[in-house]
Structure 1
């Protein structure tokens, strides 16, 4: 997929990976880039910088996601690429209350489902369209906080299902699974976790460049760091050994 003259929406676009993608898409010659985020001022700042359009959206609210899509297509024309990129976490495991689990699932998984629910009929009618869904290496390798890892696993599974179900009908699907990235989400991590990830941390701009390459090659899985694929291969080759290694990593993270 080439971005020139395309209409693109990026949720979570006010900072981190989302902002870097929005900037990079515009440099590729996108006709319109909509920077969607619940932080209105930050979204407006990025949109103004790149000559895009800002939208204030809480992706956990289906009506707001639907309105984002309707307003974008009314203003700019049909959406060629929709990037479900917003993400949050909650620190802990099963001891966390249901409300915390639901909040993370609503943003990290259900926002992808709601966007696809609204967009797929339109894209299928046109016979084209691309969905880019930001998951995480945690969605492949189960790292750190349980709600984050579980929701990202689900996001990967949903992206796979979309590709299997609609890939032969003109719908492109890509799943972005970065490891450590210099974003506000990473800044909130403990010093121990940041230290463990230090050798593999990349900039948001590096991730955006990988996204451009992945879209151009129409790849499903976009992995900005080589170690992720290596760990996936180790996991598949010897799951028991891989789990022992991950237990050591978990213990070191504290």
Structure 2
């Protein structure tokens, strides 16, 4: 998809953060974009701001963890633009804490938004992209935490799932003219640390009891993450990288090289595991 002008894209989690950065970068490249988000007011403001730059964009509200709402959003983009070429599964949440703080509702919410919504997106929009036989591209937002899990957060588990799904789909959809990329951002200046603002009532039990801790290891960890997030890269820069990734069919889209040594160490550890058994004869 070297020439994006005139193509049509659907971007979830597009009212702010990385999603808005991607929607903006695509729209500036001449793509017609349908922005989708769970926050109606923020979505309306984002669409209005983009329209002031004379780009062709519209908005549709949906809770992407609900397949029926995502399907209705797909109907909306077909009604408005007639087809779709690019799907960006970007909506995501920070989820809940690590081992010791797990709850069933917390796992359910994190999986529903970060992983199952990506599955629903592909299953709904994939056939729509195939239908017009003009080719297309799917980008799903994982995280650098989808390549290096350094704790037991449900977030990391779902992001590993997005990476695995994207890698598999890339092989399966290439013969059908659809490219697949997985976005693995590091720290980006977004509101992901405030994900609880969008907690649906059906997952209310995922909300931690009482206020966040103000001292101790967990408080220090939360402060470190928030500070790093606030100092993260510009979402529009990430959007420009995604646009370039679509144009050049990159399998992986990174935002910085901060964690490259950690990833190299992980792969080295995996290779060591093979080295240890290389000359052994398996029992049959």
- Does residue 133 of structure 1 match 2:140? yes
CA distance, structure 2, for counterparts of residue 24 and residue 46 of structure 1: 13
Match for residue 169 of structure 2? 162
Using the TM superposition, name which of 201-210 and 40-49 deviates more.
201-210
TM-score using structure 2 length: 0.78
Which 5+ residue runs of structure 1 have no aligned equivalent?
Answer: 242-254
Provide closer, same or farther for how the CA distance between residues 164 and 229 of structure 1 changes in structure 2, counting only shifts above 3 A: farther
CA distance, structure 2, for counterparts of residue 99 and residue 167 of structure 1: 36
* Structure 1 moving runs of 4+ over 3 Å: 186-189, 197-200
- Does residue 90 of structure 1 match 2:102? no
CA distance, structure 1, for counterparts of residue 229 and residue 119 of structure 2: 32
CA distance, structure 2, for counterparts of residue 199 and residue 69 of structure 1: 33
Deviation at 1:198? 7.2
Deviation at 1:124? 2.7
Provide closer, same or farther for how the CA distance between residues 122 and 187 of structure 1 changes in structure 2, counting only shifts above 3 A: closer
Match for residue 64 of structure 2? 59
Match for residue 110 of structure 1? 116
Match of 2:73 among 68, 71, 84: 68
Match for residue 149 of structure 1? 156
CA distance, structure 2, for counterparts of residue 62 and residue 240 of structure 1: 40
Q: Is the 8 A contact 1:135 1:177 kept in 2?
A: yes
Q: Is the 8 A contact 1:34 1:47 kept in 2?
A: no
Provide closer, same or farther for how the CA distance between residues 143 and 79 of structure 1 changes in structure 2, counting only shifts above 3 A: farther
CA distance, structure 2, for counterparts of residue 193 and residue 240 of structure 1: 31
CA distance, structure 2, for counterparts of residue 121 and residue 23 of structure 1: 25
CA distance, structure 2, for counterparts of residue 226 and residue 234 of structure 1: 14
CA distance, structure 2, for counterparts of residue 227 and residue 137 of structure 1: 10
RMSD (CA atoms): 2.2
Q: Is the 8 A contact 2:189 2:231 kept in 1?
A: no
Match for residue 126 of structure 2? 120
Using the TM superposition, name which of 150-159 and 47-56 deviates more.
47-56
Which 5+ residue runs of structure 2 have no aligned equivalent?
Answer: 52-56, 196-220, 273-284
CA distance, structure 2, for counterparts of residue 26 and residue 223 of structure 1: 21
Deviation at 1:73? 0.9
Deviation at 1:22? 1.2
CA distance, structure 2, for counterparts of residue 238 and residue 53 of structure 1: 47
Match for residue 191 of structure 1? 223
Say which structure is richer in helix: 1
Match for residue 248 of structure 2? 217
Q: Is the 8 A contact 1:91 1:145 kept in 2?
A: no
Q: Is the 8 A contact 1:180 1:186 kept in 2?
A: no
**Rg comparison, structure with higher value:** 2
Per-residue deviation, residues 49-78 of structure 1 (Å, max 9, x unmatched): 112211110001000111111110121121
Using the TM superposition, name which of 128-137 and 232-241 deviates more.
232-241
Per-residue deviation, residues 131-178 of structure 1 (Å, max 9, x unmatched): 110110011111456110000000111111111211222111110000
CA distance, structure 2, for counterparts of residue 208 and residue 124 of structure 1: 24
Match for residue 11 of structure 2? 10
**Higher RCO, Cα 8 Å, sep 6+:** 2
Provide closer, same or farther for how the CA distance between residues 98 and 211 of structure 1 changes in structure 2, counting only shifts above 3 A: same
Query: SS state of the match for residue 209, structure 1?
Result: helix
Query: SS state of the match for residue 24, structure 2?
Result: helix
Q: Is the 8 A contact 1:200 1:225 kept in 2?
A: no
> Aligned residue pairs: how many?
239
